[in-house]
Amino acid sequence: MTDASTKFGEMVRNNRLLRPLLSLPIFYRVLIANSLIIFAGATGGTWLASQLNTNSLYPTALVVFVAVGWLVSVALNFVLLQFAFRPLMDLGKVMSRVQAGERSQRAPLTGYDRDADQLALTFNMMLEAINEANRQRATQIMNAMEEERKRIARELHDETSQVLTSLLISLAILEESITTQEARDRIAETRTLAHRTLRAIRNLSIDLRPSALDDLGLLPALRWYIKEYQQKFTIVVDFQAEGFKERLSTEMETALYRIIQESLTNVARHAQAHHVNIALKEDTDAVYATITDDGRGFDLEQVQKLPSSGQERGWGLMGMNERAHLLDGDLTIDSSPGKGTTVRACLPLQETASSDKAIQSEVSV
């Protein structure tokens, strides 16, 4: 809502004459405004015609009178219609901003125009319904993805890994039973290849969905992942956690794990960093995650615009934002070339988020 609209609304609410007039339906406001203009024109015209009837300059004066009367009528009509349609124009501006992508915009209520307020309330309720439908759809998609990741990870761990382990055992037995050195060397090479494949499958299983996240919770899963991450990329990671007396909800643990995992993945792929700090904190209202690296940083706006080289990172950043917003949280990224990157996520605890929504519903009602 603009400053001019705010001042106009305050002026109307404080004016005892304008408030009852502008509280009428739009049809009657326009009807009254035009009736007043016609009445003023007819009255003034009759009086002026009687005055000019005996004047020798009557034709010229009549032309001037008609022109002036027309201009005055247009000006008065413009002013009165501006007053009458100001709430609708404000609503149109909000609609344009929503169409441009500002989904958090809401139509203002005038407090004196029942028709405009009803339109604004309907528009706001429609936006809330669309946002809620999109939120539910995105949540269902995220949950389906996590379930599929879990299924594939379990299958890789339970089936494929066991087959490769059996193959390694068979190769070891075969190596012991063969006396030819050349054959033993070839079997040893095959065992090495099988070991690498087994390790790659286990890493893939962990990346898809670590079993520790479901069985033990967020903190053990993160500690295990960070340990493997440091061994793989030789990047020092300092991890600190504060609070967390009890396990969080499955949705929140998954979101925090994925946000931290994606942040570390971006560090390894793009940042050229040597050190990463991860801080997790839970208080009575929310859980806070901060991931900071000493890498080369990047231009956030530029990365989001890049269609090719920055596309993978752009989708990763979008995924982190989506996970945070689905839980009514916020995620911010601070980065600039040469100064490293800091990712901050704030996810409200479910009870707090539910109570906030209830309060907002009561206020809107």
Q: Which domain holds residue 249?
A: 234-365
Residue 127 resides in a domain: yes
Residues 92 and 131 in one domain: no
> What angle is formed at CA 77 by the lines to CA 73 and CA 78, rounded to 5 degrees?
120
Residue 106 resides in a domain: no
What pLDDT score does 9 carry? Answer: 56
Q: What is the CATH number of the domain that holds 351?
A: 3.30.565.10
Contact 352, 328 (CB under 8 A): no
Residues 86 and 198 in one domain: no
Does residue 310 surpass a pLDDT of 50?
Answer: no
Residue 220 resides in a domain: no
Residues 267 and 358 in one domain: yes
Residue 272 resides in a domain: yes
What is the average per-residue pLDDT within 186-192? 83
Residues 354 and 242 in one domain: yes
Listed ranges 162-171, 338-347, 349-358; the one with the highest mean pLDDT: 338-347
Residue 223 resides in a domain: no
- Distance in angstroms (rounded) separating the CA atoms of residues 94 and 113: 17
Residue 255 resides in a domain: yes
Q: Among 209, 224, 250, identify where a domain stops.
A: 209
What pLDDT score does 356 carry? Answer: 46
Residue 226 resides in a domain: no
Beta bridge partners of 333: 343
Q: Among 175, 209, 243, identify where a domain stops.
A: 209
Residues 321 and 356 in one domain: yes
Task: Give 127-160 pLDDT, tens digit per residue.
Answer: 888 877 877 777 777 777 777 777 777 777 667 7
pTM of the model: 0.59
Max CA distance (Å), the chain = 137
Report the number of distinct structural domains present in the chain: 3
Residues 71 and 126 in one domain: no
Residue 316 resides in a domain: yes
Residues 64 and 159 in one domain: no
- Read out DSSP for 225-269? HHHHHHHHH--EEEEEEE--SS---HHHHHHHHHHHHHHHHHIII
Q: Among 194, 209, 224, identify where a domain stops.
A: 209
